[in-house]
Amino acid sequence: MTNPTKMILARAMDQNQIQLDFNSEKYSFSIEDVRLDGDAQIQEIKAEGKSVFLKTSALDYRKNYYVGIKKYGRLPLDLGVLLDDLVSEKPLGCTVENGRTVFRVFAPRVTRVKLVLFESHVDSTGTEYTMQMDDDGVWEYALSGTHWGKYYGYKVDGPNDPTEKFSPQTLIADPYSKAVCTKNTYLHEAKSIILKTDEYDWEGDAPLAIKWEDLVIYELHVRDMTAHSSSGAKEKGTYRGLIEKGTRGGINHILELGANTVELLPVHEFGNIEIPFNKNVNGVTNTWNPYARNHWGYMTSYFFAPESYYASGGNINPGDYSGNRGQQVNEFKDMVKAFHKAGVAVILDVVYNHVSQYDLNPLKYIDKKYYFRLDPLLGFLTFSGCGNDFKTERPMAQRLIIDSVKYWLEEYHVDGFRFDLAALIDWETVQQITAEVKKINPNVILIAEPWGGGKYDLAGFSDYGWGAWNDLIRNGVKGQNPSNALGWIFGHYCCGNTPKTIEAYVRGSTREYGGPFKTKSHSINYLESHDDHTLGDFIRIGSNEVEPSKKIINVTANAKLSPTQLKLNKLAAAFLFTSQGPIMIGEGQEFARSKVIAATDAPDPHVGQIDHNSYNKNNETNWLNFEHKEWNRELFDYYRGLIELRKAHHAFRWTPGDKIQFLKTERDFALGYFLPKTSSGDNWNFVVLLNSHPKLPAKFQLPSGFWRKVVDENRARKEAFGELLQGNVVVPPVAAMVLVN
């Protein structure tokens, strides 16, 4: 049975034209059958294939219209194109200008905005002021004098109808808030803080200028790094705890390892709490998250404000407040300054593809139809998988993103950004971001997660000068799934890989060798991130030593690496750190941390199993246990040695792909190559030998001369060790060897 003909889309093409799309050309109606609900009239109808065009009297973007056709349905009219001409260059948010405190918010479709000023963060009522709108959709109010330390918010009313419901009694914070005080409920109730931020003493601090090829990135979660008692931090799980001296966790661990860059999981103020588990809230029942938490932070609420939970006094106690003094601002700056003093750059993982889902996110309450991508019924689209996709191509939405990244560069001295689900950001916005941030810092680091919403484009981001997470090397080297799609380190080729693709990863995945990148500096090589299994758990499962569906009874025994697991982890690390291109590792990868779901009061039937998606667990599932580091100290020292070697020698970072000479071997899953000194700026030649055959050794013929080890199956160092070697050399199964001439 064929589907009946129906109208599937109604949208304005300009102020006097509407386009109606049908699912087939089998429609027939007269002008009398068409009804346009609202104050506009239909003047003419024209059909072209599956589309019908209505000429109308002037449409008003502040109003709601519906188009109905007998037998073919009724749809709300998308007026989006009429909104694209609304642009303002006025400063938004709260600013002090000529001795006055000025509040501005862009909300072109609403009918009324009230500014509410509070003396205290706990006040339920404040002084209200009616704001005025200019011709470009900016609502504004100015108070005489300065009001540092006070709190404010907005109450917004608009053209209510079934497609949107404004809530004029609900207080929302400013989307341009520099800091917010938040209350611990799923609504994430917030008040903006009028904060003086220009008196901070940076002590001459400036962003670091690390070349992209030289990056050794450590992806971390602010809370995870010090929340566990083993970290030794006094202010656990905070910006301050991250930079405490004398601890086992935080910055001290990172410096011991040798990483020169940290990538912080989202630190923009985010919705920490989801709706209660198994309870109906506004027609939605949370059946998926028994913890009712968003631990990782991928639910941004405010794009200019640091997360208040990570500041001193931050907590997650129901009904309590965090960030009421705006302390998160200076504490975040202290953290950046401390990392910079230690020679470590700071990258922020930022989420501009969607906003927080269940809280009082101001953009949803200010103008859903302006700021979000909508379906034909004008409901939120969710290609991000998170409930509401941000319409990055809308001019003032684009401006918000660009204002945000510029603000974090200028106000917080960060060194760059990793853009979550970046394929959902339109190319014009990508181009504008690139142009604007390079005016501030020509060395700024720009990294895309190059997928999202069904799109995938590593090459596209490289064309715009961005780096991108290289999932090709990730899948090729370790595999895509530990149960049925193992990669090269296990002695397999999965996911379309061949010996040639493995060689291409060594060269930096550039286009001349079949890769997607214009330059190897764009290939962010990694084997683990916050997503999916840790590399350690992938290997535990892939080596058939841990059954993912079974509960781990002895967490200590599970965390300690078996001989097989240790060899596989070392081989993976050796491949990663000897390949051309920037390097990223996930927190705890260096000691093969395992994410065993910890017992809590949440009704999680999977407690005790290995977790591959721990986004919702603010507990020991995610917190780094530094006792485990000591149990696997041999692997940690191996990572540390590889990082020292890589940082000490240009050969592993700067050798052109055409200068890398691959060595012949008859062993399957063996890979050897020569890095000549003349091509990299080093005074030494290197040979890298990798054997992933699970059972058999691999023999290689060395280039002429005498060689000594810097890496073997036991250790990795920047200084040579062992006896002189020449002629043939044999690499054991599942092992690596790096030799220096």
CA atoms within 13 A on the CB side of 614: 25
User: What is the number of other CB atoms lying within 10 angstroms of the CB of residue 726?
Assistant: 11
**CA-wise closest residue to 293 among 353, 368, 357:** 357
What lies within 8 Å, CB to CB, of 434 at 6+ separation is 446, 464, 465, 466
Q: Record the tokens describing residue 688, joined without a space.
A: 């890298």
Three-state DSSP string of 51-119: EEEEEECCCCCCCCCEEEECCCEEEECECHHHHCCCCCCCCCEEEEECCEEEEEEECCCCCEEEEEEEC
**CA-wise closest residue to 561 among 585, 523, 535, 531:** 535
Whole-model pTM: value is 0.96
Helix (H/G/I), strand (E/B), else coil: 21 = strand
Chain segment 367-401, per-residue pLDDT in tens: 999 999 999 999 999 999 988 999 999 999 999 99
Rounded to the nearest 10 degrees, how much is the dihedral formed by the CA atoms of 226, 600, 187, 391? 70
**What are the chain's domains?**
7-83 (2.60.40.1130), 656-740 (2.60.40.1180)
Mean pLDDT throughout 111-124?
97
Chain segment 508-567, per-residue pLDDT in tens: 999 999 999 999 999 999 999 999 999 999 999 999 999 999 999 999 999 999 999 999
Q: Record the tokens describing residue 645, joined without a space.
A: 């070697």
Q: How far apart are CA 490 and CA 478, in angstroms?
A: 7
Contact 416, 447 (CB under 8 A): yes
What is the β-pairing status of strands 455-456 and 467-470? unpaired
**Does residue 1 carry a pLDDT above 50?**
no
What pLDDT does residue 678 have? 77
Which pLDDT band, with edges at 50, 70 and 90, does 2 fall under? low
Q: In whole numbers, what is the pLDDT of the chain averaged over residues?
A: 96
What single-letter amino acid sits at 390? F
Mean pLDDT throughout 398-418?
98
What pLDDT does residue 683 have? 86
